[in-house]
């Protein structure tokens, strides 16, 4: 089955294609020739995921899913949350986002955090939501070369490595996006019966 994942983020595509193979042919925005900027003006992860999936469905007539992910840090009142990608500004620079996060946590004892992903699946039958959460800790300096976003400063509960130090296979066993994708996959397989 051919579906669209409303992203051009190469890292997300790799993770999701890995999780959905071989049952689904996942196309990116670029592959369906979607050049426009997708709307992302919601104040919740759910609203942003819906806006993106709905835009593709309505303009490209293709079943689509979109995700929105936020890093929620307890000591910062769950910031950056829905603004994680643009925490340090509209330029969406991962390094600047991490710098700002570490600066804001400098004098905080509680460094607990969680990654939360919400996926919206949109078809002509309607829309459905799937959530994944991973709890962990923000460390004081970057470690690892893999991953993206805040992966280099996030250590999941029960582990000593950051997401950026893990292989894609290791991260996919427990990541927030992988959890949400697994729920989506289970739903899709059930709906194809």
DSSP conformational letter for 141: S
Helix 10-20 to helix 176-192 angle (10° resolution) is 40
**Which residues make beta-bridge pairs with 129?**
120
Report whether 65 contacts 53 (CB < 8 A): yes
Tens digit of pLDDT per residue, the chain (193 long)?
Answer: 899 999 988 878 887 888 788 888 999 999 999 999 898 899 999 999 999 999 999 999 999 999 999 999 999 999 999 999 999 999 889 999 999 999 999 999 999 999 999 999 999 999 999 999 999 999 999 999 988 899 999 999 999 999 999 998 898 889 898 899 889 988 987 876 6
What is the three-class DSSP state of 120?
strand
- Please name which of 62, 63, 84, 65 lies closest in space to residue 73, comparing C-alpha atoms: 84
Give rounded-to-5 percent helix, strand, coil for the chain: 40, 25, 35
Which domains occur in the chain, in start order? Answer: 2-192 (3.90.950.10)
Q: Encode pLDDT of 162-192 as tens digits.
A: 999 999 889 888 989 889 988 998 898 787 6
Beta strand pairing call for 2-5 and 64-73: parallel
Strand ranges (E), 98-181: 112-123, 126-138, 154-156
Q: Is the peptide bond before 28 cis (omega within 30 degrees of 0)?
A: no
User: How much is the pTM?
Assistant: 0.87
For the annotated catalytic residues, the residue numbers are 68
């Amino acid at each position: 089955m051919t579906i669209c994942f409303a992203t051009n983020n190469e890292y997300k595509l790799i993770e999701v294609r890995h999780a959905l193979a071989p049952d689904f042919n996942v196309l990116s925005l670029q592959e369906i020739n979607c050049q426009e900027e997708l709307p992302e003006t919601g104040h919740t992860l759910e609203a942003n995921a819906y806006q993106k999936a709905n835009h593709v469905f309505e303009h490209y007539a293709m079943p689509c899913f979109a995700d929105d992910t936020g890093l929620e840090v307890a000591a910062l009142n769950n910031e950056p949350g829905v603004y994680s990608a643009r925490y340090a500004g509209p330029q969406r620079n991962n390094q600047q986002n991490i710098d700002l996060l570490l600066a804001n946590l400098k004098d905080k004892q509680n460094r607990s955090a969680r990654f939360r992903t919400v996926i919206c699946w949109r078809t002509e039958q309607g829309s459905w939501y799937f959530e994944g959460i991973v709890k962990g800790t923000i460390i004081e300096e970057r470690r690892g070369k893999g991953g993206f976003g805040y992966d280099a400063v996030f250590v999941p509960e029960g582990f000593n490595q950051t997401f950026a130090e893990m292989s894609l296979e290791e991260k996919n066993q427990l990541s927030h996006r992988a959890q949400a994708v697994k729920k989506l996959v289970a739903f899709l397989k059930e709906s194809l019966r």
